Amino acid sequence: MNLDDVSSGKGAEMKIDCPVCGGKNTATYTTQTHEIAYFGEIVESTIQCEKCGFRHNDILATEQKDPAKHSLTITEKSLDSRIVRSQSATVSLPEIGIKVEPGPKSEGYISNVEGVLLRFIATTERAMNIFQDDLSQENGKKVLNDLNKVLNGELETLLLIEDPFGQSKIMDIHAKTEPLTDEELKHLKTGFTVIDEN
């Protein structure tokens, strides 16, 4: 798989007030459409503030999609395969034991498998800086070691992307797409807060 799987269409740019620091017209809001092979059109939007440095990236598919689970065994050959991850998706490497769930600050992105591994490495390093206890440090080191092996093509591992809104995609000929079951959906965070009224 290569760059031909994604073709970029029209883009637009406008100045807006920053939603974080309130700066007048200090933020640039850009949208860019991309046509993804066998998937459809997505719109990538970015807000970037030149005053406070705030930056946020979102991905939105223009067509309605069903909840889906995408899986791929990462090999050396699949490091270049494209990944579309919407802000509502949970990304995990269950065999290595690392998972990133969507939260209010989740970002959508278009990257490749290598880029996803690098994000996991950065996430693990951040967690190791916050949790200084021996067990966290030991687990963190093991995860980092495994992630680097996958990155170097020395270890194959399963990549899972579960998206309750179906707006994500793994663009590799060996990737599998299945519908999410109701049971799986229940256990996924959707990025929304549910208020219990009892």
Q: Does 49 bind Zn ion (CB under 5 A)?
A: yes
CB atoms within 10 A of CB 149: 14
* Closest CB 54 distance from Zn ion, rounded Å: 5
Q: In 69-132, which residue ranges form alpha helices assigned H by DSSP?
A: 113-130
Q: Which residues of 28-39 are buried (b: 16+ CB within 10 A; e: fewer)?
A: beeebebebeeb
52 lies in the site for Zn ion, by CB under 5 A: yes
Query: Does residue 21 touch Zn ion according to CB under 5 A?
Result: yes
Question: Footprint of Zn ion on residues 132-171 (CB under 5 A)?
Answer: none
- Closest distance to Zn ion from the beta carbon of 17 (Å): 9
3-class secondary structure, 142 = helix
Task: State which H helix or E strand residue 93 sits in.
Answer: strand 90-93
Question: Minimum Å distance from CB 47 to Zn ion?
Answer: 9
Residues between 53 and 72 with contacts to Zn ion, criterion CB under 5 A: 54
H/E element, 12: strand 6-16
Nearer to Zn ion, 14 or 21 (CB): 21
Q: Kindly state the smallest distance separating residue 126's Cβ from Zn ion, in Å.
A: 22
| DSSP codes, 162-185 | EETT---EEE-TT-EEEEPPHHHH
Least Cβ distance, residue 50 to Zn ion (angstroms): 8
Q: Closer to Zn ion at the Cβ: 33 or 45?
A: 45
- Count of residues engaged in binding Zn ion, rule: CB under 5 A: 8
* Interface residue list for Zn ion (CB under 5 A): 18, 20-21, 23, 49, 51-52, 54
